[in-house]
Structure 1
């Protein structure tokens, strides 16, 4: 009788055990809230992580955010930035900045943004969260149970590398003719970082290539915003070629055709500027009085150190480096065919 009773209990409970185990390993989601976006990088995708103290704190001051949401949110634009548009394409809300993770728990269903304005692959000055550190923070969220294996399996990582490393390299006094050596080091570390994100469980890793730095208002100001710097843009092309090479290497190493992808931000920007889709192509909407980088700054008496255009819609660039929301909208339209392939 004891044996029969044990067999009965085993037969009774076994289906429930199987169900529980299956549920624990299932990655099926309801129709809403499945996909997640994890964002790494710099000011092209930062939606509020940068602190409010320091030289770059101007992203928290007027006139940043005047178009959306009509007040500063830490975004380096008058409105939305690239990560917002990528989230929109995925039909989810923009992932919450890591900085506000404790105040927006319900928004974790959309992922998390770890990007910080001014950072790079390597250290770029006073900023402690370079790309490696951002991934460290991401890994802690996983280990702490904030995101599960199922979350990662249905997720996309967006990595923005927009040139801060080269700015730091140049400002440190390194000769421009040695930039190829630095670029190789940069690519080696970037490859390690991209692979690490994937190894943590993220299904797809998308990295932006470098936009035409020689056309940014900071550079074009010397020509009264009439032309780009061809020497700098040649270096950008070299960067992008090397980036394509490491993406191909990663695809081979992971034996996948779509795990790693590059997003052609350079092509999107270049087509917009070349076709003169904006009345003011290289000139920024918000321009410093004495240099190109004073947008949002005031002196000790509160006097503005910048001048502001009447309509950001007429400008591709918002400040010395970053596009307006209208600029990002145009870039997003140019990127849509690529995004369709990435997120299919």
Structure 2
């Protein structure tokens, strides 16, 4: 089973322009996160959190790739918007490249892992995954390879200073940890307030490690309305509400900590710039304006753990569904989020500015 979904943009996008990139805007693009952005790192793991089978990838060129979607994910669309010729490869394939052969790792790597969280233990009841700490360690290995390719650590750092670092993780720490008291002790050890502080403190340490290894342009994506995920509503019930309010409240609490983290690190790390992406706020509005008709159910028939049943035929009207399975957005949903991440539709979509502006930022002239 995969990570919880940062729901799609549900505010009207009819006036939003399509953003067509002209040339590659940054030297590289590095992705950290969970199943919302995983593109194949879990394919060889002993885990239920895998998407390397049909109907996953039914609309993706080449079929199932490990993406928890019918097609593209948010980070794939952003790669197009940033002007990359291809999608960013997963670490499991990119890590095996000869440091002297080609320059693909210079273009970026996707380290994300389905069911993973900020905390090491998160999601482990589903099997193996690659938590944020290990994803950061994998990037340290990438740094060493780039240093070998570029002729030293200084050259590697200079290259990475201009790259986009996209971080989308934290949903599973609630849905596949805190709110599963039979599998995890965190809800007994921490109040929601103390748990969100614990998560943010751990997250902060990982970001500072990335900064030490060259990261300067960092996008931190907030947790979406995880209390509105179909699987969660089926498990816990909504008691007459549209969503599970206490789960959404926990997400909001954590997002406040993330926003504070971004502000604090922007003050502390004078040579870097972090932005906060408000995925929770992008869920507001009327989904029917975007053409969505099915809001609380997934397009594919789902297993008890919320993922698609292998080999089952999904719905044909996929663009009318917010959710692909019982956790993750359809490609249409991912595109809506990507558009507002790359260029804000509303001032509240990102802070202090959007991803397009971050990409264009001359980090040495702040």
TM-score (norm 1): 0.80
Does the CA-based 8 Å contact 2:89-2:109 persist in structure 1?
yes
| Pairing of 1:176-325 with structure 2 (within 5 A) | 178-221=191-234, 222=237, 227-255=242-270, 259-271=273-285, 273=287, 277-288=291-302, 291=304, 293-297=306-310, 308-325=314-331
Alpha-carbon distance in 1 for matches of 2:257, 2:319: 34
Equivalence for 2:172: 164
Does the CA-based 8 Å contact 2:43-2:50 persist in structure 1?
no
Unaligned runs of 5+ in 2: 1-22, 151-155, 345-353, 361-366
Does the CA-based 8 Å contact 1:272-1:330 persist in structure 2?
no
Do the aligned partners of residues 62 and 247 (structure 1) sit closer, same or farther apart at CA in structure 2, a change above 3 Å counting?
same
How large is the RMSD of aligned CA atoms in angstroms?
2.7
Do the aligned partners of residues 218 and 105 (structure 1) sit closer, same or farther apart at CA in structure 2, a change above 3 Å counting?
farther
Alpha-carbon distance in 1 for matches of 2:223, 2:149: 32
Q: What per-residue deviation string (whole Å, max 9, x for no partner) do you get for residues 37-64 of structure 1?
A: 0111111111111134434354001100
Equivalence for 1:150: 158
Alpha-carbon distance in 2 for matches of 1:242, 1:274: 32
Q: What per-residue deviation string (whole Å, max 9, x for no partner) do you get for residues 114-146 of structure 1?
A: 111111111221435211111111111212325
Alpha-carbon distance in 2 for matches of 1:236, 1:275: 25
Do the aligned partners of residues 339 and 32 (structure 1) sit closer, same or farther apart at CA in structure 2, a change above 3 Å counting?
closer
Query: Which of 1 and 2 has higher RCO (CA within 8 Å, sep 6+)?
Result: 2
**Residue 34 of structure 1: how far off its partner (Å):** 5.4
Q: 1:327 aligns with which of 310, 329, 333?
A: 333
**Residue 226 of structure 1: how far off its partner (Å):** 8.0
* Larger helix fraction of residues: 1
**Residue 175 of structure 1: how far off its partner (Å):** 3.6
Does the CA-based 8 Å contact 1:94-1:110 persist in structure 2?
no
| Pairing of 1:6-155 with structure 2 (within 5 A) | 35-69=27-61, 71-92=63-84, 93-101=86-94, 102=96, 105-123=102-120, 124=122, 125=124, 126-127=127-128, 129-144=130-145, 145=148, 148-155=156-163
Alpha-carbon distance in 2 for matches of 1:68, 1:224: 37
SS of structure 2 residue aligned to 1:60: coil
Do the aligned partners of residues 146 and 231 (structure 1) sit closer, same or farther apart at CA in structure 2, a change above 3 Å counting?
farther
Do the aligned partners of residues 238 and 32 (structure 1) sit closer, same or farther apart at CA in structure 2, a change above 3 Å counting?
closer
Does the CA-based 8 Å contact 2:58-2:70 persist in structure 1?
yes
**Residue 109 of structure 1: how far off its partner (Å):** 3.8
**Residue 88 of structure 1: how far off its partner (Å):** 1.5
Alpha-carbon distance in 1 for matches of 2:297, 2:194: 32
Do the aligned partners of residues 55 and 150 (structure 1) sit closer, same or farther apart at CA in structure 2, a change above 3 Å counting?
same
**Residue 287 of structure 1: how far off its partner (Å):** 3.1
Does the CA-based 8 Å contact 1:212-1:270 persist in structure 2?
no
Does the CA-based 8 Å contact 2:42-2:129 persist in structure 1?
no
Do the aligned partners of residues 153 and 265 (structure 1) sit closer, same or farther apart at CA in structure 2, a change above 3 Å counting?
same
